[in-house]
Structure 1
Amino acid sequence: MNYQETVDYLYQQLPMFTRVGASALKADLHNTLELCKQLGDPQHKFKSIHVAGTNGKGSTSHMLAAIFQQAGYKTGLYTSPHLLDFRERIRINGEMMSKEFVVEFVKQIQPTIEQLAPSFFELTVAMAFEYFALEQVDIAIIEVGLGGRLDSTNVITPELSVITNISYDHMHILGNTLPEIAGEKAGIIKANVPVVISETQPEIQSVFIDKAAFLGAPIHFADREWLLQESEFSQGHLSLGVQHTHSGDMKRFHTDLTGQYQMKNIMGVLSAVKVLQQAGWELPEQTVFTALAHVKKLTGLRGRWEIISHDPLTIFDVGHNEAGVTEIVQQLKHMVYRHLHIVTGFVKDKEVRKVLPLFPAAATYYFCKAQLPRAMDQQELAEMAHESGLRGHAYESVQQAFQAAKQQAHKDDLVLVCGSFFVVAEVM
């Protein structure tokens, strides 16, 4: 098989959560452990940082990767899902793995695939671990796919665990309350391995404190270690001034990640860096500042309040759940525009009825359906949105919706594409 045939084989043969939903998930780590065993347990051959959370884990992973990369370490990065190219999931120093590696890996492990019938995610995790081990990375930043406790990535023993925001998402899998969801995310906390919690949430902090205490894991709440003293948002960047609560040290820096919601993630990253410095990693302060100013360039991060064009101002954001949409709406309050156009679509298993009322009523909506089985029908979405006071039309495809928004938008308007990774991917 050539590269395209190999990727098609993976999509068609292996159950894929992003396409079919919960039926692709396995209720234990058996397949991942078996795949890794067949490969000689590559997950134990490199150092790692494990990042979980409902929102912010992707941005946090990319920021940490940028910092290690800028500091001169050979840095692996595993994230999901991808936007345009399957290989975006597995990178070293910002470069996607080679097509040749994908072909050879699948060819080598195909008998095991036929025998085990792993999920798409289980296989890609094993692929990432094998790639990082073969390439002898100094460290790999590993983003959890879903949850934590039973996530395929949870077979590593990292240098540090990081848990970002916890909010309602995938409740049919992770639980119906925030403490239940937090309990699943807390599953990445390991014995004697430090853990950073990016955001203190009073209703669930005890979940993390108790789990960390039980395992003897030092715990750090980032927003208790850093105080935001100043912030300035412009269309191109975010400037921050933060003060360390114990030392009183003031740090000012810029980042090319433009969403204001990144402030919470950045504090988690700063606390993570402090823990890692104390553990002996050489991450000089100036290196950290330089890396945060060039995260997109260093790592290839896309789709987080990403400004695509200015005439009209067009922004892509992959925010897709209650907390993500809340942050998007908060960000909109800082924007200057004549009228707002929102292109959006969701997958069926999201709490869409809870999310839609969060959107601004004073906007024109373009409802669409991404090309995957999990996607919600655009007509159904439009009817649901109308019940929440949102006005707009349904379109057969994401591209039709986006073209309609661009045609109707005045040069001083704002066009926002959000609601799903897959909607943003299809527009890209």
Structure 2
Amino acid sequence: MDYSQTLDFLYNQLPVFTKQGASAIRKGLDNTLALCAALGNPEKQFKSVHIAGTNGKGSTSHMLAAIFQEAGYKTGLYTSPHLKDFRERIRVNGSMIDPLFVVDIVARLQPAIQELQPSFFEVTVAMAFSYFAEQGVDIAIVEVGLGGRLDSTNVITPSLSLITNISYDHMQLLGNTLPEIATEKAGIIKPGVPVVISETQTEVASVFYNTATSLQAPLHYADQEFLVQDSQPKGTHLQLAILHTPTDHARTIDLDLGGQYQEKNVLGVLMAVKLLQQQGWHLPEEGIYQALSHVKQLTGLHGRWEVIQQHPLTVLDVGHNEAGITEIVQQLSRQVYNQLHIVIGFVKDKDIEKVLSLLPKTAHYYFCQAQIERALEADVLTRMALHHGLLGHTFANVQLAYHAAQQAAHAEDMILVCGSFFIVGEI
């Protein structure tokens, strides 16, 4: 198979969560371990940082990768889902995986694939770990796909675990309460391995304390050691004044990820960096701040309050669940515009009613659907939105919706594209 045939095999012959939803999930780590064994156990051949959480784990992963790259380390980065190109999931020093390696690994895994019938995600995890081992990375930053305890990435033993936050998402798989969801996320905590929690949440604090204590894993809350004293937009960047409370040391960070919600993620990153420095990683302070001002350039991150045009102000954000949309709405309250135009679509397995109740009623909506099986039909979304007082028009696809918004918006208006990774990916 050539590269395009290999991708076709991965997408169409294997169960893919992004297309099919929960039916594509293979619970447990046995398949991933077997695939890795067929490749010589690459998951044991590099050091790593493992990152879980409901929201912010992608941004956090890219920030940490940027810091290691800036410090001169050969850095692997595994994230999901991708926005446009499959190879976005697997990077070394910001460069996407070699297509020939993708072809080679899938060919090598064919006997195991035939025997195990693994999911798309299980195969891509094994592929990523094999690539990191073959490339000889100094460290890999590994983002959990879904949950933590049973996620395919959880075959690694990292140098550090990090959990960003806990909120409602994928309840059909992770549980209906925040403590239940936190228990799944806490599954990445390993015996004796330090764990950082980015955001203190009293409802789930006991879950992390009990898990960490039972595994003798040192537990650190980032927002109990670092404090955001001030936060101001600066063009497309976010300028943060951050205080390290034990030492009373203050520093200004110019972050190239403009969303105000990045405040919480940055604290987790800084706490992780401090602990990694204590482990012997050479991460100079000036390099840390330089990296955070160039995260997108260093790692290829897209879709986090990403400004793609100024007149009208046009922003892409992959926020898609209750907590993510709440952060987007708070960010909107800080923007200045005449009329707000929102291009929006969802996948079916979200708490869409809850999300719709959060959205501004004064915006004009362009309801659409991504070109995937899990997409909620645009006409169904339009009817649901009407019950929440959200008015707009229905479009058969993302491009038509976006084009209509561009045609309707005046120079001092704002266009926001959100609701799904797949909507933003198509833009």
- State the TM bucket, normalised to the shorter chain: over 0.9
Map of 1:426 onto structure 2: 426
Instruction: Provide Cα deviations, 1:242-272, integer angstroms capped at 9, x if missing partner.
Output: 1112111111110100000000000000000
Which residues of 2 match residues 25-424 of structure 1 at below 5 A?
25-424=25-424
Aligned partner of 2:174: which letter? L
Instruction: Provide Cα deviations, 1:84-116, integer angstroms capped at 9, x if missing partner.
Output: 100000000000011111111111111211121
SS in 2 for 1:12: helix
Aligned partner of 1:230: which letter? D
* Cα distance, 1:393 vs structure 2: 1.1
Instruction: Provide Cα deviations, 1:328-347, integer angstroms capped at 9, x if missing partner.
Output: 00000111111000000000
Aligned partner of 2:127: which letter? M
**Cα distance between partner residues in 2 of 1:424 and 1:236:** 18
Instruction: Provide Cα deviations, 1:174-198, integer angstroms capped at 9, x if missing partner.
Output: 0000000000000000000000000
**Cα distance between partner residues in 1 of 2:416 and 2:260:** 16
SS in 1 for 2:346: coil
**Cα distance between partner residues in 2 of 1:210 and 1:219:** 10
TM-score (norm 2): 0.99
**Cα distance between partner residues in 1 of 2:245 and 2:125:** 38
* Cα distance, 1:388 vs structure 2: 0.5
* Cα distance, 1:355 vs structure 2: 0.5
Q: How many residues were matched structurally?
A: 427
Map of 1:8 onto structure 2: 8
* Cα distance, 1:228 vs structure 2: 1.2
Aligned partner of 1:182: which letter? A
* Cα distance, 1:128 vs structure 2: 0.2
SS in 1 for 2:77: strand
SS in 1 for 2:152: coil
Aligned partner of 2:58: which letter? G
Instruction: Provide Cα deviations, 1:260-293, integer angstroms capped at 9, x if missing partner.
Output: 0000000000000000011110001001000000
* Cα distance, 1:130 vs structure 2: 0.2
Instruction: Provide Cα deviations, 1:297-324, integer angstroms capped at 9, x if missing partner.
Output: 0000000000011121110000000000
**Cα distance between partner residues in 2 of 1:296 and 1:141:** 16
Aligned partner of 2:119: which letter? S
Aligned partner of 1:158: which letter? P
* Cα distance, 1:79 vs structure 2: 0.2
**Cα distance between partner residues in 1 of 2:397 and 2:229:** 44
Instruction: Provide Cα deviations, 1:192-213, integer angstroms capped at 9, x if missing partner.
Output: 0000000000110111011000
SS in 1 for 2:193: coil
Aligned partner of 1:401: which letter? A
SS in 2 for 1:425: helix
Instruction: Provide Cα deviations, 1:131-155, integer angstroms capped at 9, x if missing partner.
Output: 0001110000000000000000000
**Cα distance between partner residues in 2 of 1:307 and 1:235:** 10
SS in 2 for 1:154: helix
**Cα distance between partner residues in 2 of 1:345 and 1:67:** 34
SS in 2 for 1:153: helix
**Cα distance between partner residues in 2 of 1:270 and 1:118:** 36
Identity between Structure 1 and Structure 2 (%): 64
* Cα distance, 1:234 vs structure 2: 2.9
* Cα distance, 1:235 vs structure 2: 3.3
Note the aligned Cα RMSD (angstroms).
0.6
SS in 2 for 1:401: helix
Aligned partner of 1:407: which letter? Q
**Cα distance between partner residues in 1 of 2:340 and 2:380:** 22
SS in 1 for 2:153: coil
* Cα distance, 1:295 vs structure 2: 0.1
TM-score (norm 1): 0.99
SS in 1 for 2:162: strand
**Cα distance between partner residues in 2 of 1:154 and 1:307:** 34
